[in-house]
Structure 1
Amino acid sequence: MTKIINLRNNILNHLSTIQAMNKEYATAFTETNLYFVNLKELDSPTKSDFAHNPKTLDEICQCYSEIMNISGIYTDTLYGQIRRRPGLCLNALLNINDDLCYAQKVINEAINYINRGIINKDTLEGYATSTNDFLGVVIGIAYKQKEDIDRLIANLEKFASEYINTLNENMNQILKDVNFESIDYDNKLQELIDLEAQLRKEINENIAAVVGGAVLTSFCLVAAIVGVVAAVVSGGGSLVVSASVLGGIAAIGGTMIPLGFSSYDLYQSKQDLEKTLAEIDGYKADLLEFGVIKSEIEGVKSKLSSVRNGLTIMADAWGGVSDGFKEIQTEIYNATIETKNANENIAIWCEVYTIIENCITKVSKLEEDVKSLIVSNLKVSKAKIEIGMSAEQVKEALESSESIDFKDYMLAV
């Protein structure tokens, strides 16, 4: 019976992996969309700051144009494919559950038949065939999930290779070609990127707290709040960086105080960085913005990689589910054809019954989890969050604000 117990454990482990990866996948997908919302807000730099180096301006403007193009391609193609994946997974689980229940019913009939003590080989083979037919459907569903995921992985890899990786390399080269004598520039760029990352984390935690965590999957992307991050990379010019962006961070810092997070640390970081940015001329400030934009592109690259990695693990797990049920089919066949001892025969059928029962319980739990991860219609909110708002006021602002369908928002000219 050790083999059958191992089969059960393997299948349950694969289902647990699918459960865990769906959650990570949904989070990475939402965070990817947040990056694209930020990038949608970009404005090209002004010519005045680049008067003495028009070639750099042309190269940067070309990157901005490519970013807009890439955002549109993502929204038109990959966004829908990635968004639909949890729903497709749920449909597969519902169908698997149905067929496992049918198989369990047949196995129970077979056990009752064997317990009566008069066993006809043809009758028992009929039970085995019927059970294996239902399990064959489960195997087919699991394998199709693997095939579908493999196709999505290929599309993700193609998108990253043709667009994101190339753009990231071009942006790296532009910054590499711009050599400032002072190390202060690199330090300030890193400070700005670190502050942006800290702000992003703060925003995610606070909004999740206000809406009960649903923001990660089924609520909405908040343009006004995420837009504060976007402001780091928009507008062009040192005044925008030091005044508008950091002022926005200060405002967000203020709103976070009633919610009990580390807004004071954010505010102090903002104050320190504001002093150093005030000393930078417009040309370097625009390049600072460009450096932060590059970090946003790297964020997209990283999150899409997380989506792909989650899918890869899920595909392997679905393959394991398919292979596991194939082995169970073999065990059922052996219990019917090869096993001569009646006690051993019924023991195998009972073990298989337990496996199916455990799998039904696990699949039912997985169904509920995946159902909560389905994003039917992701929206971008125009909520305005101001300094001094309480948690209840933030929630009210989110619920009452204008919202736009994500695709409409991203594809608007």
Structure 2
Amino acid sequence: METKTIFFSSLDSILNGRSLLKQGNTVDPHSTYIQNYVQVCNYVSSVNKSELPVLRKAPAHWDEYQKSLIDAKAASIKWVNEIAANLKELPTELMDSNEDVLDLFQKAIDHCDKLIIDPTDEFARKKLKQDINNSLEEIHDLSQKIERVIQRMSEFRDTLPQQAANLQHIADLAMQDEKVDKDKIEELQKKIGEIKSEISSLTGAIVGLSIALGASIILSVVAVAVAGPIGMLTWIFTGAAAAVATTYIVIDSIKLNTLKQEVKALQHDMDDYTADVATLQVVAKTFQELAEQAIAVEDNMKYILDIWKALDYDLTQISKEIEKSGEKYSSQDWAGVKTGFQNATTLWKQFQEEVKLCSLEEMSGNTAKLDIGMSSEEVKQQLDAGKNVELIEYLTA
């Protein structure tokens, strides 16, 4: 008779095909859930720390822009309260379930050992099926919770981009005014984009270090534009992972300082009207980036849901197989079942290593406002002078 070796094929396929941890053979923290989550938090903190611009010569459609900006900020706060808060708690719940799943696998292996010795042991067979079915109830509950969070995220898949598009549309209408120096605005946008990209890279390094050390992350904001006579560009911020353990972000690099001076020169070379339209463009771009990053987090969550669904499917199939096995299963067949659960144990431990990367419990914000040109020691001093705040409170302040 053919040996009925039961493997966790669905679980194996997803974990070894779409790992959050692996890109080639190396760990790539930039592709992980926590990296994307930090980026969303950075955008949320930057837009919520920014005030409505005080313009010198408000362009056409300014009233519409003000309303759209208020709506967009409200959408970002709603994202924090309804989604970010749940995402912060979810990895802990998933890790708390780890021991239950491993306990199930170990009990299954023990039952299989008894059935290998005596394939007619009806009590061991029924106990194995009962343990699996009991665990499926918990797995169903967790899967449904993840699905509910993803459903809320899907609703925001349209909301945040639409709010960003509304802002961008009005900012683009203002750009069409013949009094606006479009080239200067586009150059300013480019330079601010380069600054944000550089800070994002530095943030990635901090997040990567936090993953390696299992350390907490402190978020803060960095002033992107410099003080000057033009509009409110001074108050455009970008979020950053500012510190982890004893390591602090370094924002006094030659590249950043050069970009800062280039932005300053562009600001001083703009007339009032062009500077005001530039402010609209910069703010609109920030919301667009927030919307894009929020979608990336949703994709990560779908991956985690797929793991639970795969486990659910595999265990359900095994339960059905055990139901009809009866006396048809030989010692060799039960040895195959045992091998399946041993393989599943290895796979599950691999998944738990990934879930650990998603832990956000120790992440917090700091009220300090950092400025380009600060050394790591100066960043430390600012953070020490600021106040550490629980993450969700920080993002909604």
Alpha-carbon distance, 1:295 to partner: 1.8
Partner of 2:156: 159
Structure 2 residue 52 is the aligned partner of structure 1 residue 44: yes
**Structure 2 counterpart of 1:165, one-letter code:** P
1:45 match: secondary structure: coil
Structure 2 residue 371 is the aligned partner of structure 1 residue 363: no
User: Could you tell me the percent identity over the aligned residues?
Assistant: 17
Partner of 1:118: none
1:97 match: secondary structure: helix
Alpha-carbon distance, 1:206 to partner: 5.1
Partner of 1:342: none
Rounded Cα–Cα distance in structure 1 between residues aligned with 2:85 and 2:134: 27
Partner of 1:79: 84
Partner of 1:148: 145
Alpha-carbon spacing, 1:393–1:3, altered in 2? closer, same or farther (3 Å): farther
Alpha-carbon distance, 1:328 to partner: 2.3
Task: Out of 267-276 and 195-204, give the one that drifted further.
Answer: 267-276
Alpha-carbon distance, 1:378 to partner: 3.5
Please list the CA deviations of residues 328-362 of structure 1 after superposition, one character each: whole Å capped at 9, or x if unmatched: 234444553434xxxxx222211211221222233
Please list the CA deviations of residues 129-167 of structure 1 after superposition, one character each: whole Å capped at 9, or x if unmatched: 211221223333333333222211111122343x41331
**Greater fraction of residues in helix:** 1
Equivalence map 1:185-334=2 (5 Å): 185=184, 187-205=186-204, 207-208=206-207, 212-214=209-211, 219-223=216-220, 226-229=221-224, 238=230, 241=233, 263-333=253-323
Alpha-carbon distance, 1:263 to partner: 3.1
Partner of 2:75: 70
1:48 match: secondary structure: coil
Of 82, 97, 119, the residue aligned with 2:102 is: 97
Alpha-carbon distance, 1:183 to partner: 4.3
Q: Count residues with an aligned counterpart.
A: 376
Alpha-carbon spacing, 1:98–1:307, altered in 2? closer, same or farther (3 Å): same
Equivalence map 1:108-147=2 (5 Å): 108-114=113-119, 121=120, 124-147=121-144
**Structure 1 counterpart of 2:8, one-letter code:** R
Alpha-carbon spacing, 1:410–1:318, altered in 2? closer, same or farther (3 Å): closer
8 Å Cα contact 1:335-1:349 kept in structure 2: no
Alpha-carbon spacing, 1:14–1:143, altered in 2? closer, same or farther (3 Å): farther
8 Å Cα contact 1:26-1:373 kept in structure 2: yes
**Structure 1 counterpart of 2:13, one-letter code:** N
8 Å Cα contact 1:382-1:403 kept in structure 2: yes
Rounded Cα–Cα distance in structure 2 between residues aligned with 1:10 and 1:384: 47
Partner of 2:5: 4
Alpha-carbon spacing, 1:370–1:139, altered in 2? closer, same or farther (3 Å): same
Rounded Cα–Cα distance in structure 1 between residues aligned with 2:162 and 2:379: 39
Provide the alpha-carbon RMSD of the alignment.
3.7
Partner of 1:389: 375
Alpha-carbon spacing, 1:357–1:324, altered in 2? closer, same or farther (3 Å): same
Rounded Cα–Cα distance in structure 2 between residues aligned with 1:268 and 1:227: 16
Alpha-carbon spacing, 1:61–1:295, altered in 2? closer, same or farther (3 Å): same
Alpha-carbon spacing, 1:237–1:333, altered in 2? closer, same or farther (3 Å): farther
Alpha-carbon spacing, 1:150–1:222, altered in 2? closer, same or farther (3 Å): closer
Rounded Cα–Cα distance in structure 2 between residues aligned with 1:290 and 1:384: 22
Runs of 4+ residues deviating >4 angstroms: 15-19, 180-183, 214-218, 243-246, 258-262, 383-388, 392-401
Report the TM-score when normalising by structure 2. Answer: 0.80
Structure 1: gaps of 5 or more residues: 115-120, 253-257, 340-344
8 Å Cα contact 1:49-1:237 kept in structure 2: no
Rounded Cα–Cα distance in structure 2 between residues aligned with 1:153 and 1:216: 29
Alpha-carbon spacing, 1:85–1:259, altered in 2? closer, same or farther (3 Å): closer
Alpha-carbon spacing, 1:218–1:301, altered in 2? closer, same or farther (3 Å): farther
Alpha-carbon distance, 1:245 to partner: 7.0
8 Å Cα contact 2:61-2:170 kept in structure 1: yes
Rounded Cα–Cα distance in structure 2 between residues aligned with 1:285 and 1:196: 18
Alpha-carbon distance, 1:2 to partner: 8.4
Structure 2 residue 336 is the aligned partner of structure 1 residue 351: yes
| Structure of greater Rg | 1
Rounded Cα–Cα distance in structure 2 between residues aligned with 1:44 and 1:3: 67
